[in-house]
Amino acid sequence: MIQAAVSQVWYDNTPDIQNEYGPFQYGLNHSYLSLLERPGLLPLAILPTIAVSPEEILKNFDILVLTGGGDPSPSLFGREDNGSRNPRPFRSTWDLKLYHAARKLGMPVLGICLGMQLIAIAEGIALIQDIPQTPVFHDGSGSKPATHSVAISTDTLLYDLFGAEITVSSSHHQAIEKVPPGYLLSAKSSDGCIEAIQSKDGLVLGVQWHPERDSTGKPILDALVRMVGAI
């Protein structure tokens, strides 16, 4: 049984209930679980803890999936706030620890939307905090995903899966400034936004879109499962 560790979204509890319930609650959209639901794969949510290190947690897993979510704090990439929407450091800080642990363990990683941005931040890259209006119209509201095509680079996993172009579902207003060291540009949109990156060792794939909402999800996850069998 392949076990996939899945990061959670952190929601702020309102002040009137924090004394009873604490500062946060944690959740995950069912679309992620639908993507991961298949024979032989067990998705398990990873909650933040200080009792066990990220390395100790992940050594019992085979794949790490970093899901989408709200804006990370610009302090994580050394910038002042310049268009971020209610940026929060807590969830991002925990997910960064999970990413670094997965890399130490040689574990396949899939980063989705925020997940891809955190991969870039972990590798020293800053974010464009609010993408200017473009014909692609990267929205980011979460309520009206944009459907658009992305051009895929040759000699990448995505090219092997989909060929030169694919239509994706996006919902983001931030993007990575450039491809991190040790990574390849895997896809970009017509406005030049970096839409996917792949580590040169082939173990990490970050996509700016939401594969759990479109036709790209199953082939991407199938490829990650095959990676586990090859390691």
Residue in 123, 138, 173, 212 annotated catalytic: 212
Residue in 113, 138, 172, 193 annotated catalytic: 113
Contact assessment for residue 22 and residue 62, using Cβ atoms and an 8 Å cutoff: no
Q: What values do phi and psi take at 126, rounded to 5?
A: -90, 170
Q: How far is CA 196 from the centre of its chain?
A: 10
Q: Which tens digit of pLDDT belongs to each residue from 36-82?
A: 998 899 999 999 999 999 999 999 999 999 999 999 999 999 999 99
pLDDT at 185 over 90: yes
Half-sphere exposure of residue 230: CA atoms within 13 angstroms, side-chain side: 10
Return all residues near 222 (Cβ < 8 A) that are at least 6 apart: none
- For the entire predicted model, the pTM comes to 0.95
Q: Which tens digit of pLDDT belongs to each residue from 151-170?
A: 999 999 999 999 999 999 99
Indicate if 212 belongs to the active site: yes
Q: Show the beta-strand stretches assigned E in 81-181.
A: 109-112, 127-128, 146-152, 165-170, 175-176
Indicate if 210 belongs to the active site: yes
Class of domain 2-126+196-230 as given by CATH: alpha beta
Question: 229 falls in which pLDDT band (50, 70, 90)?
Answer: confident
Query: Per-domain residue ranges for the chain?
Result: 2-126+196-230
**Mean pLDDT, the chain, integer:** 93
Indicate if 165 belongs to the active site: no
